[in-house]
Amino acid sequence: MIDDLPAAVQDSCCLLFADDLKLSCVVRDVTDHEVLQENIDKVTKWSKENKLYFNVSKCSVMSFTRARNPRHHRYEMEGEPLKRVEEVRDLGVCFSTDLNFRKHVVTICSRAYRNLGFILRQAHDFNNMKALQVLYDALVRSHLEYCAAVWGPSEAKYKFMLERIQNKFARFLYLKLYRVYPGYPLLYPTLFVLGMVGYCKLETRREVALASYLFKVLRGKICNPDILGEIRLCVPDEYVGRRLLPPLLEVPRARTNLLQRAPLTRAVRTLNAIANRLDLFTCSLNDFTVVTYRVVSYESS
């Protein structure tokens, strides 16, 4: 019923999911403000013609920028001004104006701790290790890894906040399996405990998931033209005869830590490391995943 809605928009990106619509546009000057307002008017006109009216009170506008003095414009829909927000929750992920996901990490850590406490209390007398792992994966790790390719933190503080949740469950599981309390932090190192109970670091799983997504885009298994357009093969001048082969993909040049630690930049570095051991264009997904775990685990250690 809404498949023809993007046709009404010309100069903005239109994202649809169920009954939600997002219009995005790069704003550099006053002309861009006017273009976005025209697209809002066209969408409003489409809604009236199809009798699928928008709830203006639930509509909002948000500017993603890191500028100190960003350009703000008063956008309207059906004659009413759209409220401007600093944060929005979209498909379970909390976005802020500077695309900093610190609040999202804190929120999911709080929810995961609450669910983990429920498991530790209710499953204190469980002897079935498989049941404990299923409960943890369904109620705790699912929150810690949902859309992690988007919000995965690069700061050590927030990485530690996520890891300590799994470490607590791993030590609980270790006690159940071996009847020995692993202690903390010197008696049994965290990596040893994780290995003994069959888990790896959440950071490793996030990096593998991120690299796997880019691998699927590169191989055409996932359609994402925007991401595919950012991937560039590296063919430097006069590389023939060099002892060291050039990397497969060009790593984006970063002048800031934000770009250097961006998801796409990290994924490209991982794929370049894997390309030295595996042919990315002919290997299977299973072989790619196995090699990726080895590469990412080695780099993180």
State the pLDDT at residue 259. 81
Q: Do 110 and 193 reside in the same domain of the chain?
A: yes
* Residue 120 domain flag: yes
- Tell me which residue has tokens 């006053």: 30
Co-location of 173 and 213 in the same domain: no
* Residue 249 and residue 188 share a domain: no
On whether both 121 and 185 belong to a single domain, the answer is yes
Boundary residue ending a domain (164, 198, 232): 198
Cis previous bond, 185, omega within 30:
yes
Tell me, yes or no, whether 260 lies in a domain: yes
Report yes or no on 40 lying in a domain. yes
> Based on the structure, what is the number of domains in the chain?
3
- Cβ–Cβ under 8 Å, residues 53 and 44: no
Query: Measured on CA atoms in the order 190, 195, 198, 203, is the torsion positive or negative?
Result: positive
- 156 with 174, same domain? yes
Q: How confident is the model at residue 244 (pLDDT cuts 50, 70, 90)?
A: low
- Dihedral sign, Cα of residue 48, residue 54, residue 57, residue 61: negative
65 & 106 share domain? no
Could you tell me if residue 295 is inside a domain?
Answer: yes
Mean pLDDT of the chain: 86
**Structural domain includes residue 92:** no
Domain boundary among 85, 120, 136: 85
Q: Which residues make beta-bridge pairs with 20?
A: 17
- Are residues 129 and 60 both part of a single domain? no
Please check the confidence at residue 211 and state whether its pLDDT lies above 60.
yes
Read off the pLDDT of residues 156-208 as tens digits, 9 standing for 90 and up: 899 999 999 999 999 899 888 887 766 655 567 888 888 888 898 999 999 99
- Do 169 and 116 reside in the same domain of the chain? yes
Q: Which of 146, 163, 198 is the last residue of a domain?
A: 198
Domain enclosing residue 115, as ranges? 102-198
Integer-rounded Cα radius of gyration of the chain: 24
